[in-house]
Amino acid sequence: MSESSARQQLLVTLFEAFNRHDANGVMACMTDDIVFDTAVGTEMYGNRVTGTADVKAAFEKVWGGMPDVSWTCTSHSVFGDRALSEWIFRGTAANGTRIEAEGCDLFTFTGDKISRKSAFRKDRPPLPAKETSAAAS
């Protein structure tokens, strides 16, 4: 398998782990010194999270706050030691409001793992909570 094909497969494996909410599976795709720039935050790059323990905790926080969160990948493109993944982010917050927005990740590889992940997501207002059948009657 070529390096490009292996990196493409690594991205598939990464997003499968994200959608299983499998922190160990996600972190197995990343270097120990991973740098993750979040989609939101106070800095121009979002918030920067570094190292395995802190990045793992950041992902677990998202899964805990939105138990149904998922990323539907629409494409993965690899360009040498860089890659782009495009996706649709969906999740429901504790208050019932929903997020559904397009986004992408820019990746940098070191060897056969991801050493940097920079996330970008459309800034779309939350969607209203879905009505339950009890509320509708």
- Where are the chain's structural domains? 3-123
pLDDT at 45: 94
pLDDT at 131: 72
**What is the overall mean pLDDT for the chain?**
94
Our separate counts of H helices and E strands in the chain read 4, 6
| DSSP 3-state of 16 | helix
Secondary structure E strands in the chain = 30-37, 48-50, 70-79, 82-92, 98-110, 113-121
pTM comes to 0.89
pLDDT bucket at 134, cuts 50 / 70 / 90: low
* Cα–Cα distance measured from residue 70 to residue 109, given in angstroms and rounded to the nearest whole number: 23
pLDDT at 69: 96
Is the confidence at residue 135, as pLDDT, over 90?
no
Residue carrying the six token digits 């160990």: 24
* CATH class of the 3-123 domain in this structure: alpha beta
pLDDT bucket at 23, cuts 50 / 70 / 90: very high
